[in-house]
Chain A
Amino acid sequence: MLLRAVWFCLAFALAIVSPPGLAGGQTLHRGLGPEPDALDIHLAQSLSALNVLRDLHEGLVTFDARAELIPGIARAWTVSSDGRVWTFELDESARWSDGTPILAEHFVAGWQRALAPATGSPTVGLLDVVAGARERRTGQAGENAVGIRAIADHVLEVELVRPVPWLAELLTHPVTYPWPGEQALFSGPFKLDGRVPGSHIMLSANPRFRQADRIELQAVHWHVIEEPNVELSRYRAGQLHITETIPPGRLGWLRELFGDELRIAPYLGSFFLVFNHQRAPFADNLALRRALSLSIDRELLTERVLGAGEVPAWQLIPPGMPGWPAVDPGDPRSQAERVAEARQLYRQAGYSERRPLRVELRFNTSLAHRRMAAAVAAMWREHLGVQTRQVNEEWKVFVANRRQGRITQVVRGGWIADWRDAANFLQLFESDSPLNYSFWHDAEFDRLMASAREANGQERFDRLRAAEQRVLDQQVIIPLYYYVSRHLVHADVEGFEDNLMDIHLSRWLALR
């Protein structure tokens, strides 16, 4: 009887076996990473949400396949001579997914909803460059105070608090998109067909999109997959065309397995360790901070420990940022020379082998972070004799501790560009910034940042570079490496171009 049951099961199994494969036609299957926090343009914050929202909606400005800015719903714009008033001329062929025209008033409605305190938008701070926006979102002013106006059906005027040369970049962010009211309408190349939380989001081409004739894909399915290893399995099983990332530490094997399908490219993000400047032992101890930085061998760390294509870093701002050099000039000395200086500085700071520094290095749960921390601790011990306690904390605990700064000494830091501008990175170190978990307060730096806000063009870049140099000279952080974007892209996918922002709108992709 048992045998019969086994045979029955086997027969059943054979009956249901169906080689899955990627369904034919023009349906693109993309890995998304974690479940998006929201597909509401004013509430979304996570990278995965932004990726889906950029397919569903369009802003005044948008990205091409290489993530360069191109006009979106705004066909053209002019800037007043003082740089404070921008006037956008909207594309009259722009339509919502039900066919009604997209008007300037929809942008006004969107920004007003974002700014209304009751909305609770977490990203609304991005609009602070708009006149009256800060007052409105803090509830000190009414809607009329906000510097956004519909001059005509297709003319939009935005008034800023100061000249903002990177405003066009900002206008690609979903918080600035037009808003059709409480109805599910889409301004972008795709519309939402269905959604299963924790599983997938289904999009289909939006026939009313102003450039619908140029879109080749019929549908895009974004698959929610949190674990990189799981995503890899599904890619290998032929269920995905594009992965969101690759698992850490298996670069060689993946390269062998996938060859050209593995796409690793520079990414505008940097990873660093941050000292707590309001607590001993790092407050007012430049020599010690420098010693700890110099004794870390970045090449060894990126090549041997992390091994997913990361680039060694000596600066805060990643190469490729407008106004910055294309490669990190680095430190010309050999690692042995750096270690020699580090030892000298360490003694100068009052530490020795008999009186070693005891320090806590704090990071959140992640395989890559754990490997990084172990390597850094080993290098500090080997070269300086520092005794490091590696503190692995669960995500929310880590974030809360880092922000409060009451018990932290050295913490994991990092930043990924919201838009292509150096000030986006440097804001982390401004005295009054909520993002400043170094607790470094420096009048000189604040002055440089303020003066950069007044400047334009090359002069602005010079001031920002001086501000970055100040952060590096004071060794506020230890830069370790620059991020890279990592994807597996199936050979059938056309139009996928590596870029610094790692933004790949589905509208530029096609299936062979």
Chain B
Amino acid sequence: MLNFSLKRLASAIPTLFLLITFAFFLIRIAPGGPFDSERALPPEIEANLAAKYHLDEPLLFQYGRYIWQIVRLDFGPSFHYLDWSVNDLIIQGAPVSFTLGALALLLALMIGIPVGAWAALRQNRPADYSVMSIAMIGISVPNFVMAPLLILLFAIILGWLPAGGWEYTPSRMVLPVITLALPMIAYIARITRGSMIEVLHSSFIRTARAKGMPEKKVLISHALKPALLPVISYLGPAAAAILTGSVVVERIFTIPGVGSYFVQGALNRDYTLVMGVVILYGILIILFNFVVDLLYAWLDPRIRYDDAEVGP
């Protein structure tokens, strides 16, 4: 297991390096630069700005400079938010996005898995159909529709909750967390139901039942674990995505997370900010996929990563 973990982590380095390289050159291919604005600057002032941010150097030079910075964990100054460095922006924004994402994820798991399992036990009965129809709606209503509806109801009509803005208080978190969690609840419920049905038809469940094991025990200790495998593989990338923030939810609730920096950074040609967020996202994806692999081994006795453990 340790061997496998070390190998996986070592292989992450070239992956990240490729990611950085691609992103670095791609964002610079995009037309327009960080200092283009409604009011074109006189050429001498543009030259001053370019020199200040080393944009006047050859591209390969800039690339080398950037890689050297990254190695020292310095993501450079933001080209658009001049008062901040990219490190500042990520350090301020990431905890907000993480908090919201983690709460949404937790809520989604707490509701999605029981609901999915429950529907599976009532397969093709009215309860199953109604739960799955609601889940389908949850998946198909985009969050840019759901969020304003929630705001209209709870903030404007009922006046119970604020319409946006951020503090670490429950009242500010409720609506964004629900908006983020709803489609995930629906996904998780559907995936759980599907795999649960499959597992319930497999022979080891039949054996367990035949041995006279109580139904509750069959479900919880034998069926649920393998049924969660597809949920886990969905969760890897989904967790990385939700923890780095959602552009839509952040904009609608005016939440200062890192999600909107993705889009703002790209639109503003804020090269360093885009790179910072891409690297953060890349690291999280790699990390969560690794965690998913470990969880797999724990959940499914057929999967083992160390050759030595494969017995005859």
Chain A residues with a Cβ under 8 A of chain B: 1-2, 5, 13, 16-20, 35, 37-40, 43, 45, 117-122, 124-125, 137-138, 196-200, 223-227, 229-230, 233-234, 236-239, 394-397, 399-401, 403, 414, 434-435, 437
Whether the pair A233, B163 counts as a contact (CB closer than 8 A) is yes
Whether the pair B37, A45 counts as a contact (CB closer than 8 A) is yes
A238 (CB) vs chain B CBs: closest residue: B159
Contact indicator per residue, chain B 158-192, by CB within 8 Å of chain A (1) or not (0): 01111111100111001000000000000000000
Whether the pair A125, B45 counts as a contact (CB closer than 8 A) is yes
Whether the pair A226, B40 counts as a contact (CB closer than 8 A) is no
Whether the pair B36, A403 counts as a contact (CB closer than 8 A) is yes
Whether the pair A230, B165 counts as a contact (CB closer than 8 A) is no
Whether the pair A400, B254 counts as a contact (CB closer than 8 A) is no
Whether the pair A2, B37 counts as a contact (CB closer than 8 A) is no
- Specify which of A37, A45, A199 lies most central, judged by the most chain B CB atoms within 10 Å of its CB: A199
Q: A2-B115, A197-B256 are in contact. Are A396 and B164 (CB under 8 A)?
A: no
Taken together as a complex, chains A and B put the C-alpha atoms of A37 and B44 apart, in Å, by 21
Give me 13 other A-B pairs in contact (C-beta within 8 A), A5-B111, A45-B39, A117-B48 excluded: A16-B169, A40-B82, A119-B52, A122-B37, A124-B45, A125-B45, A137-B48, A197-B93, A197-B256, A199-B166, A199-B255, A396-B267, A399-B38
Question: Which residues of chain B (58-110) have a CB below 8 Å from chain A?
Answer: 80-84, 88-89, 92-93, 110
Shortest beta-carbon distance, A143 to chain B, in Å?
16
Whether the pair B171, A18 counts as a contact (CB closer than 8 A) is yes
Chain A residues lying within 8 Å of B208, measured Cβ to Cβ, are none
Q: Does B143 contact A (CB under 8 A)?
A: no
Whether the pair B84, A399 counts as a contact (CB closer than 8 A) is no
Whether the pair B35, A122 counts as a contact (CB closer than 8 A) is yes
Chain B residues with a Cβ under 8 A of chain A: 30-33, 35-45, 48-49, 51-53, 80-84, 88-89, 92-93, 110-111, 114-115, 118, 148, 151-152, 155-156, 159-166, 169-171, 174, 250-257, 260-261, 267-269
- By Cβ-Cβ distance, the 3 closest A-B pairs, closest first, are A396-B32, A198-B256, A237-B163
Whether the pair B89, A239 counts as a contact (CB closer than 8 A) is no
Taken together as a complex, chains A and B put the C-alpha atoms of A414 and B164 apart, in Å, by 32
Taken together as a complex, chains A and B put the C-alpha atoms of A43 and B82 apart, in Å, by 8
Whether the pair A239, B260 counts as a contact (CB closer than 8 A) is no
Whether the pair A239, B174 counts as a contact (CB closer than 8 A) is no
B250 (CB) vs chain A CBs: closest residue: A198
Taken together as a complex, chains A and B put the C-alpha atoms of A121 and B49 apart, in Å, by 8
Whether the pair A223, B36 counts as a contact (CB closer than 8 A) is no
Q: What are some 27 contacts across the A-B interface (CB < 8 A)?
A: A5-B111, A17-B160, A18-B161, A19-B159, A20-B161, A39-B83, A45-B39, A118-B48, A118-B52, A119-B52, A120-B48, A122-B49, A124-B45, A125-B42, A137-B44, A198-B255, A199-B165, A199-B256, A224-B256, A234-B162, A239-B163, A239-B164, A239-B165, A396-B30, A396-B31, A400-B33, A400-B36
Shortest beta-carbon distance, B55 to chain A, in Å?
11
Q: A137-B44, A399-B38 are in contact. Are A16 and B170 (CB under 8 A)?
A: yes
Chain B residues lying within 8 Å of A396, measured Cβ to Cβ, are 30-33, 36, 267-269
Taken together as a complex, chains A and B put the C-alpha atoms of A122 and B50 apart, in Å, by 11
Shortest beta-carbon distance, A72 to chain B, in Å?
24
Whether the pair B162, A239 counts as a contact (CB closer than 8 A) is yes
Q: A120-B49, A396-B268, A434-B42 are in contact. Are A226 and B165 (CB under 8 A)?
A: no
Whether the pair B38, A200 counts as a contact (CB closer than 8 A) is no
Chain A residues lying within 8 Å of B44, measured Cβ to Cβ, are 137-138
Taken together as a complex, chains A and B put the C-alpha atoms of A122 and B37 apart, in Å, by 10
Chain A residues lying within 8 Å of B171, measured Cβ to Cβ, are 16-18, 20
Whether the pair B41, A125 counts as a contact (CB closer than 8 A) is yes
- Specify which of A119, A233, A401 lies most central, judged by the most chain B CB atoms within 10 Å of its CB: A233
Chain B residues lying within 8 Å of A16, measured Cβ to Cβ, are 169-171, 174
Chain A residues lying within 8 Å of B148, measured Cβ to Cβ, are 229, 233
- Specify which of B83, B111, B171 lies most central, judged by the most chain A CB atoms within 10 Å of its CB: B83
Shortest beta-carbon distance, A178 to chain B, in Å?
19
Taken together as a complex, chains A and B put the C-alpha atoms of A230 and B250 apart, in Å, by 11
Taken together as a complex, chains A and B put the C-alpha atoms of A45 and B81 apart, in Å, by 11
Residue in B39, B152, B268 whose beta carbon sits within 8 Å of that of A435 in the complex: B39
Taken together as a complex, chains A and B put the C-alpha atoms of A434 and B44 apart, in Å, by 11
Whether the pair A40, B267 counts as a contact (CB closer than 8 A) is no
- Specify which of B92, B114, B155, B254 lies most central, judged by the most chain A CB atoms within 10 Å of its CB: B254
Residue in A138, A199, A397 whose beta carbon sits within 8 Å of that of B254 in the complex: A199
Shortest beta-carbon distance, B249 to chain A, in Å?
11
Shortest beta-carbon distance, A512 to chain B, in Å?
21
Taken together as a complex, chains A and B put the C-alpha atoms of A399 and B37 apart, in Å, by 6
- Specify which of A35, A224, A227 lies most central, judged by the most chain B CB atoms within 10 Å of its CB: A35
Chain A residues lying within 8 Å of B32, measured Cβ to Cβ, are 395-397, 399-400
Chain A residues lying within 8 Å of B36, measured Cβ to Cβ, are 396, 399-400, 403
- Specify which of B31, B93, B257 lies most central, judged by the most chain A CB atoms within 10 Å of its CB: B31
Whether the pair A223, B254 counts as a contact (CB closer than 8 A) is yes
Chain B residues lying within 8 Å of A227, measured Cβ to Cβ, are 251-252
B107 (CB) vs chain A CBs: closest residue: A9
Taken together as a complex, chains A and B put the C-alpha atoms of A161 and B252 apart, in Å, by 49
Residue in B42, B48, B114, B170 whose beta carbon sits within 8 Å of that of A2 in the complex: B114
Taken together as a complex, chains A and B put the C-alpha atoms of A228 and B88 apart, in Å, by 27
A34 (CB) vs chain B CBs: closest residue: B264
Q: A198-B256, A396-B268, A434-B42 are in contact. Are A40 and B163 (CB under 8 A)?
A: no
B84 (CB) vs chain A CBs: closest residue: A197
Taken together as a complex, chains A and B put the C-alpha atoms of A414 and B38 apart, in Å, by 9
Taken together as a complex, chains A and B put the C-alpha atoms of A471 and B166 apart, in Å, by 49
Taken together as a complex, chains A and B put the C-alpha atoms of A104 and B154 apart, in Å, by 54
Taken together as a complex, chains A and B put the C-alpha atoms of A227 and B31 apart, in Å, by 25
Whether the pair B161, A17 counts as a contact (CB closer than 8 A) is yes
Taken together as a complex, chains A and B put the C-alpha atoms of A227 and B40 apart, in Å, by 25
Taken together as a complex, chains A and B put the C-alpha atoms of A486 and B152 apart, in Å, by 22
Chain A residues lying within 8 Å of B40, measured Cβ to Cβ, are 399, 403, 434-435, 437
Chain B residues lying within 8 Å of A37, measured Cβ to Cβ, are 80-82
Shortest beta-carbon distance, A161 to chain B, in Å?
16
Taken together as a complex, chains A and B put the C-alpha atoms of A200 and B111 apart, in Å, by 34
Taken together as a complex, chains A and B put the C-alpha atoms of A43 and B53 apart, in Å, by 14
Q: A236-B163, A239-B162, A396-B32 are in contact. Are A198 and B155 (CB under 8 A)?
A: no
Whether the pair B82, A197 counts as a contact (CB closer than 8 A) is no
Taken together as a complex, chains A and B put the C-alpha atoms of A1 and B174 apart, in Å, by 22
Whether the pair A233, B115 counts as a contact (CB closer than 8 A) is no
Taken together as a complex, chains A and B put the C-alpha atoms of A45 and B255 apart, in Å, by 24
Q: A43-B82, A125-B41, A239-B163 are in contact. Are A196 and B256 (CB under 8 A)?
A: yes
